[in-house]
Amino acid sequence: MDHKGTVWTKEELLSVYNMPLLDLIYKAANVHRENHDPNEVQVSSLISIKTGGCPEDCGYCPQAARYHTDIDVHKLMQVEDVVSVARKAKEAGASRLCMGAAWREVRDNKDFDKVVEMVKEVNNLEMEVCCTLGMLNENQAKRLAEAGLFAYNHNLDTSEKNYSNIISTRTYNDRLSTINNVRKAGVTVCSGGIIGMGETTEDRIEMLLTLSSLDPQPESVPINALVAVEGTPLEKQQPVPIWDMVRMIATTRIVIPKTVVRLSAGRTAMSKEGQALCFMAGANSIFAGDKLLTTPNPSFDDDMELFNILGLKPREAFKDQKKAVKELVKNF
């Protein structure tokens, strides 16, 4: 269902996804223009505040302790170091900072107190603050909300049917219940997925149907192309064709018109022209900075060059975060 109450069936959405590509882009571009400034793209920065050693088994993730990858494992960063990274990201044009910790779930301990402090401090910089910390209960979501958290990221990754092929240490329902806890705390929801993990087109569509049927729909939907990392179970996956990314972004834009569609992991493998097509199809956010948690990403300078070529401008952060969250939720 989209925000106007249109209920999509799987078949309808499949036929949207499979339209002639230029028709699909045209349709998505119209929806984009009806709901957003098409020349505005939000620049976000994603930092790994605690890296590696995760007990989960997500097949795409180099941070799972059970896989042998060459990431730099580090414990939780200091609050002042996070604030200094946030400040630099803001100076470079980022209006949103996402902090990721490789945890299965949040525990009520000193590390969580520190993360709450980070949220407060980054919020004081007038940036939208997002966290991705694993599973979360209602109380923990409330604490983050009180500290000024703007968004919580918790990706569905793929369809419910395909989920156990990618992750066995938690269920789809666990995912949905964390999203529900975030909602109840009045924090906006960021939830999307990854393509190129061996899923079918139906899996992609089913994931989009689940996301679009959340009420309200997620205010942010990251669409990632798998970065196949050596040492993970998905290391041999072939890169996803750019055309699939464009189709996925366009279909997301059509079914969740008001959301911010984030063109996320996998951008280093995309040409400037490919990324331009993604923006045309409705992507209106990128993650900038040379690392996306642990995988490579284009630098801020490369992105600003692309913005200049395309005449895009970075979106400013909302000044009053709490008010902005309330209004966003109300209008979805």
Closer residue to ligand SF4, CB minimum distance, 62 or 218:
62
Is 58 part of the annotated catalytic residue set?
Answer: yes
Catalytic: which of 96, 131, 175, 190?
A: 190
Q: Does 54 bind ligand SF4 (CB under 6 A)?
A: yes
CA 99/CA 48 separation, integer angstroms = 6
Phi-psi region of 106 (alpha: psi -120 to 50; beta: other; left: phi over 0): beta
Short-list 217, 273, 268, CA closest to 25: 273
* Dihedral angle sign, alpha carbons of residues 274, 230, 105, 86: negative
Q: How far is the CB of 294 from ligand SF4 (least distance, A)?
A: 9
Is 130 part of the annotated catalytic residue set?
Answer: yes
Closer residue to ligand SF4, CB minimum distance, 60 or 307:
60
Q: Does 222 bind ligand SF4 (CB under 6 A)?
A: no
Task: Name the DSSP letter for residue 238.
Answer: P
Is 262 part of the annotated catalytic residue set?
Answer: yes
CA 78/CA 281 separation, integer angstroms = 39
Closer residue to ligand SF4, CB minimum distance, 144 or 242:
144
Is 54 part of the annotated catalytic residue set?
Answer: yes
**Contact region for ligand SF4 (CB under 6 A) — 3-11, 53-61, 215-223, 247-255?**
53-61
Q: How far is the CB of 309 from ligand SF4 (least distance, A)?
A: 33
**Contact region for ligand SF4 (CB under 6 A) — 7-15, 57-65, 195-203, 210-218?**
57-65
Q: Which of 28, 46, 58, 197 binds ligand SF4 (CB under 6 A)?
A: 58
Site for ligand SF4 in 97-136 (CB under 6 A): 102, 134
Which residues, 6+ apart, have CB-to-CB distance to 233 below 8 Å?
59, 67
At residue 67, what are phi and psi to the nearest 5 degrees? Answer: -100, 155
Residue for token pair 């055309």: 243
Spell 212-222 as b/e; 16+ CB within 10 A means b.
bebebbbbbbb
Binding site for ligand SF4 (CB under 6 A): 54, 56, 58, 61, 63-64, 102, 134
Which residues are known to be catalytic? 54, 58, 61, 98, 130, 190, 262
